[in-house]
């Protein structure tokens, strides 16, 4: 089904990725997987009357969608490479795959845009294959059917986007080594490095952010690096479990000027021994002579901190009725080009709470990625647009899971195009009751703060603003042309 921006809707899946999840993942786990557009599609040449086998049907799915994390020395708790390794996990694999928790893709597939450059989720056929394989006793099948094992790059050479661009990053910026002493409290070191080898200005096409070695991975919680130049600083994205990096639209970039410095913005998490931590940023650049049409500020914070009331028993408590918004009215009236600024958060014990940020676009814009941010009480996040012509659209619903900080990168032909005057709304729903399996203590009042037991409430929107209406109109016409072309090809293929 296509809506009027030509986006096709995903087929509904039984359960959202969030439901039934009970394990908090240590956020220092760095995610590694290939862009699905590039990994070979698993073979699914099986007839409905045959039960699936490991060798023929299941191994290719595990290679394409699981082993990036589930192999010796990678981040997941067990290797899923050989039949002997996989077999004992079969019932658990069925459970995690059917519930949508594995592979991690915390997005509601029943609503909103479903085409992403970094989609790692399984399609319905693959889920079905795994479920039927387990239900029929998880047989090995004929070993001759086994696909050749995947040859994984060594950690040092393992840049995920290398497959996409066909070359390693053009520039690698490494942080100074920072010793994280064993058994201490968290560290937030203030590290900077000048970007090497910049004789003239260049434009960033993509960035990947990663711990430089397995040791750093143990102590790495997350990073919010930025580029410092021209007396200002601009975010270059984020790194944590679920986010590899960012690939910008192919007409858009971020400038890197001679003398630019990278500030690493790391949060490190000591283990039982001393570790020298090094973070790397890999930049893929536009060719030397090329200047992209548009410059993006990267990810921009859209706060969702206007209370819209509390749910459950607190609705009737004095002073906390639905009309008592904390700082209500200020969000959404941001006077600068950024989204609504922080207001406040206050989540009573044993209650749910909904916070929202509303912003009227003062210029046309294009969204290339979204990433949610909440902590342990976060349940889900809805991003909506009301267009100037009155159309209303849920752009996406993110099923929040604190262990996975996934940035969702839209395919080029579905990136939301927002005319000036569009109302962009971000709504975050918190659950501070016993029903939230991640809730460390439902008796607590929860306030805003950096600690994991406090809360935060925003979305990071990867966006490009257009100062000239003509540029935006050109992109709208180009989109219409691309969608019409895709539709023609689809009809042709169906003939």
Per CB under 6 A, residues contacting ligand HEC are: 23, 25, 29, 31, 33, 65-66, 68-70, 75-77, 89, 92-93, 96-97, 102-104, 120, 122
Residue 439 tokens read as 């809730």
CB 258 within 8 A of CB 200: yes
Q: How far is the CB of 23 from ligand HEC (least distance, A)?
A: 4
62/475 with CB nearer ligand HEC: 62
Nearer to ligand HEC, 25 or 486 (CB): 25
CB of 26 to ligand HEC, least distance (A): 8
Torsion of CA 367, 371, 373, 375, to 10 degrees: 160
222-240: b or e for each residue (b if 16 or more CB lie within 10 Å)?
bbbbbbbbeeeebbbbbbb
Please say which residue, 65 or 306, places its beta carbon nearer to ligand HEC: 65
Which CB sits closer to ligand HEC, 198 or 271?
A: 271
Residue 60: name the closest of 122, 132, 137 by CA: 122
Shortest gap between Cβ of 183 and ligand HEC (angstroms)? 24
Residue with tokens 């786990």: 29
Query: Residue holding tokens 């100037």?
Result: 388
Measure Cα distances from 22 to 94, 241, 270 in Å. Answer: 16, 17, 24
**Cis before 186 (ω within 30):** no
151: which residues sit within 8 A by CB, 6+ positions away?
A: none
Is residue 187 classed exposed, middle or buried when 0-12, 13-18 and 19+ CB atoms within 10 A define those classes? Answer: middle
CB of 38 to ligand HEC, least distance (A): 15
Q: How far apart are CA 437 and CA 456, in angstroms?
A: 18
Q: Which is nearer to ligand HEC, 119 or 170 (CB)?
A: 119
Least distance in angstroms from the C-beta of 294 to ligand HEC: 31
**What is the smallest separation between the CB atom of 66 and ligand HEC, expressed in angstroms?**
3
CA dihedral of residues 474, 388, 456, 366 (deg, nearest 10): 0
Q: Is 142 in contact with 437 (CB distance < 8 Å)?
A: no
For ligand HEC, the closer CB: 140 or 171: 140
Q: Which is nearer to ligand HEC, 238 or 302 (CB)?
A: 238
Minimum CB–partner distance for residue 284 and ligand HEC (Å):
22
- Please report the sign of the dihedral spanned by the C-alpha atoms of residue 12, residue 414, residue 32, residue 461: negative
Cβ atoms of 349 and 392 closer than 8 Å:
no
Min dist. Cβ of residue 128 to ligand HEC (A): 13
Nearest-approach distance from CB 92 to ligand HEC, in angstroms: 4
Angle, CA of 253, 255 and 260, to the nearest 5°: 145
Distances (CA, A) of 79 to 17, 307, 384: 22, 44, 39
CA distance 357 to 338: 12
Distance in Å, CB of 243 to ligand HEC, minimum: 10
Closer Cβ to ligand HEC, 40 or 176, answer by number: 40
Judged by beta carbon, residue 122 or residue 417, the one nearer ligand HEC is 122
The distance in angstroms from the start CA to the end CA of the chain is 18
Q: How far is the CB of 212 from ligand HEC (least distance, A)?
A: 19
d(CA 122, CA 13): 11
Nearer to ligand HEC, 24 or 317 (CB): 24
Report the residue number, 79 or 427, with the smaller CB distance to ligand HEC: 79
Q: How far is the CB of 399 from ligand HEC (least distance, A)?
A: 14
Nearest to 75 by CA among 271, 252, 226, 214: 214
- The rounded radius of gyration (Å) of the Cα atoms in the chain is 23
Measure the CA–CA gap between 495 and 484, rounded to whole angstroms. 17
Report the nearest approach of ligand HEC to the CB of residue 361 (Å): 33
* Cis status, amide bond into 103, omega within 30 of 0: yes
Which CB atom, from 121 or from 352, has the smaller least distance to ligand HEC? 121
Q: Which is nearer to ligand HEC, 66 or 206 (CB)?
A: 66
């Amino acid at each position: 089904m296509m809506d009027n921006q030509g986006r096709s809707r995903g087929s509904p899946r039984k359960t959202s990725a969030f439901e039934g999840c009970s394990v908090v993942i240590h956020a220092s786990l760095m995610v590694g997987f290939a862009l699905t557009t590039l990994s070979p599609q698993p073979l699914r040449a099986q007839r409905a009357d045959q039960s699936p086998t490991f060798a023929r049907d299941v191994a290719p799915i595990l290679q394409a969608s699981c082993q990036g994390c589930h192999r010796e020395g990678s981040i997941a708790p067990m290797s899923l490479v050989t039949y002997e390794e996989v077999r004992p996990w079969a019932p658990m694999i069925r459970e995690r795959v059917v519930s949508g928790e594995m592979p991690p893709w915390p997005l509601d597939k029943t609503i909103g845009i479903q085409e992403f450059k970094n989609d790692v989720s399984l399609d319905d056929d693959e889920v079905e294959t795994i479920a039927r394989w387990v239900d029929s006793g998880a047989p090995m099948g004929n070993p001759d059917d086994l696909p050749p094992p995947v040859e994984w790059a060594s950690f040092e050479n393992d840049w995920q986007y290398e497959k996409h661009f066909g070359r390693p990053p053009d520039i690698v910026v490494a942080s100074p080594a920072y010793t994280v002493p064993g058994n201490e409290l968290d560290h937030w070191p203030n590290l900077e490095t000048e970007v090497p080898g910049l004789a003239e200005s260049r434009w960033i096409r993509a960035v990947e952010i990663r711990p430089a070695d397995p040791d750093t991975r143990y102590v790495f919680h997350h990073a919010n690096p930025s580029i410092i130049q021209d007396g200002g600083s601009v975010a270059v994205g984020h790194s944590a479990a679920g986010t590899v990096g960012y690939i910008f639209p192919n007409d858009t970039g971020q400038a890197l000027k001679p003398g630019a410095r990278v500030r690493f913005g790391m949060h490190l998490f000591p283990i039982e021994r001393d570790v020298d931590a090094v973070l790397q940023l890999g930049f893929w650049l536009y060719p030397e002579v090329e200047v992209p049409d548009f410059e993006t500020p990267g990810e921009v914070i859209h706060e969702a901190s206007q209370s819209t009331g509390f749910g459950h028993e607190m609705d009737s408590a004095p002073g906390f009725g639905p009309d008592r918004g904390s700082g209500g009215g200020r969000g959404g009236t941001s006077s600068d080009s950024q989204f609504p600024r922080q207001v406040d958060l206050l989540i009573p014990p044993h209650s749910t709470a909904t916070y929202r940020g509303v912003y009227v676009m003062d210029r046309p814009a294009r969204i290339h990625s979204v990433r949610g941010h909440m902590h342990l009480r976060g349940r889900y996040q809805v991003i909506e647009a009301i267009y100037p012509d009155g159309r209303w659209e849920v752009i996406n619903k993110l099923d929040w899971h604190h262990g996975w900080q996934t940035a969702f990168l839209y395919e080029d032909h579905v990136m939301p195009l927002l005319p000036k005057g569009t109302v962009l709304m971000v709504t975050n729903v918190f659950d501070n009751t016993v029903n939230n399996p991640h809730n460390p203590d439902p008796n607590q009042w929860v306030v805003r703060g950096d600690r994991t037991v406090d809360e935060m409430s925003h979305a990071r929107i990867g966006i490009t603003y257009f100062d000239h209406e003509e540029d935006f109109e050109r992109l709208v016409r180009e989109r219409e042309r691309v969608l019409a072309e895709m539709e023609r090809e689809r009809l042709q293929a169906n003939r």
